[in-house]
Amino acid sequence: MSTTKLKQGKIRVAVLFGGESAEHEVSVQSAWNVVRALDTEKYAVTLIGIDRNGVWNLYETPESFSDETEMFRKRNTSLETVFPVLSSSAKFLGGKGPEKIDVVFPVLHGPFGEDGTIQGLLKLVHVPFVGADVLGSAIGMDKDVAKRLLRDAGIPIAKFLAFKQHERKNITFEKLKRSLGVPFFIKPASLGSSVGISKVRNKQECDTALGLAFSYDTKILIEEYICGKEVECAVLGNEAPATSLCGEIVPHHEFYSYEAKYLDTNGAALSIPANISSRVSEKIQKFAIRVFEVLCCEGMARVDFFVTDDENIFINEINTIPGFTSISMYPKLWEASGISYAKLIDTLIELAIERFHEKRKLKTSF
């Protein structure tokens, strides 16, 4: 993997976390782990948090800390203070601001953070950022669009239907049963961490699930149930991405729900490497890179799969800002593949800076 050599002296990294989405708490947990992994001899850290109401704040960054409360002591700041910190020219919104940021590490999950909105803002203020660019972020967030692109590329996916809010009156359990079989899943089209997802077996569950999914998004995805192992593969890189070992999720709940992921410490078992044949593992790794490229991703992603008992492989989804919590699969997969958490963070930052400088070489005028 080719990366740009970082400049001498401390690199100023802004860790951007929180956000207005239902995955706010997951983002805070991820940010806590990213900050702990950053080498203070190499990086000067700035914390920028967005609260549940969309208010931006700078946070204190103590030299040492023992818990999240101590790390996330909020300063009395505002947009007019935060944006000049982000801007490489320190002129955005007319402010002069303190020292400029060298790179932003967005640890924002879900809408308003993983969907291209933050990425577009960071491009406007000319600052490098970790992870997919605007297009890859937007595609990866919208499961309907992502699945249509994968289907057109000949990549195996489960059967699915997508509906917008105004089409809700046309959705009936009987129609869904005929199209997808039973059970099936109903989920928001643009959300992660299993928020708003329901497994449906009857009309009553269907009506409840529709209400839940539409409470989080104006577009929902209804997908056939694939009986098989849940296998994940991590991708890292820009133009020549590499893949990790495959890992398997063994949920102790009915499916890998939000509770199983984050609230119940015994909600799921993680098995790395996955309990699959080497042939299937190699196919999944090749598929992961293909998905990464088809969906226009860069930097990092976690690609999730289903593997049936007869070894058929289906791509479930891609996650362009995977979790960085203490139990998240993305860093665990790389650790099992020989890249430590700290080295992974270093590499992601290098990739962000490399991509930024490559794209700055492009002409913007005649």
Between residues 46 and 298, which one has the greater pLDDT? Answer: 298
Average pLDDT over residues 318-339: 93
CATH code matching the domain that covers 167-224, chosen among 3.30.1360.40, 1.10.3720.10, 3.30.1490.20, 2.40.160.20: 3.30.1490.20
Average pLDDT over residues 152-173: 97
Per the DSSP assignment, residues forming a β-bridge with 184 are 200, 224
Average pLDDT over residues 204-218: 96
pLDDT at 201: 97
Architecture of domain 227-352: 2-Layer Sandwich (3.30)
Q: How confident is the model at residue 1 (pLDDT cuts 50, 70, 90)?
A: very low
Say if residues 126 and 89 touch (Cβ distance below 8 Å): yes
Residue 213 pLDDT more than 80? yes
Q: Which of 34-43, 74-83, 128-137, 287-296 has the lowest mean pLDDT?
A: 74-83
Say if residues 77 and 95 touch (Cβ distance below 8 Å): no
Q: What is the pLDDT of residues 68-127, one digit of tens each?
A: 555 556 555 555 556 555 654 433 333 344 557 899 999 998 888 899 999 999 998 889
Every domain of the chain and the residues it spans = 11-130, 167-224, 227-352
What are phi and psi for residue 136, nearest 5 degrees? -60, -35
Average of per-residue pLDDT values in the chain: 86
Which of 98-107, 187-196, 342-351 ranks highest by mean pLDDT? 342-351
pLDDT at 261: 52
pLDDT at 99: 58
Angstrom distance (rounded) from CA 175 to CA 250: 31
Report in angstroms the alpha-carbon separations of 84 from 14, 121, 264: 12, 12, 40
Q: What is the pLDDT of residues 138-155, one digit of tens each?
A: 999 999 999 999 999 999
The alpha carbon of residue 342 and the mean position of all alpha carbons in its chain are separated, in whole angstroms, by 19
Per the rule left: phi > 0, alpha: psi between -120 and 50, beta: everything else, 288 is alpha
> What pTM does this model have?
0.88
Burial category of 61 from C-beta neighbours within 10 Å (exposed 0-12, middle 13-18, buried 19 and up): middle
Read off the tokens for 288: 């992961």
CA end-to-end span of the chain: 33
pLDDT at 135: 97
**Could you tell me how many helices (H) and strands (E) the chain has, helices first?**
12, 13
CATH code matching the domain that covers 11-130, chosen among 3.40.50.1370, 3.30.365.10, 3.40.50.20, 3.90.440.10: 3.40.50.20
pLDDT at 4: 42
Question: Same CATH topology for 167-224 and 227-352?
Answer: no
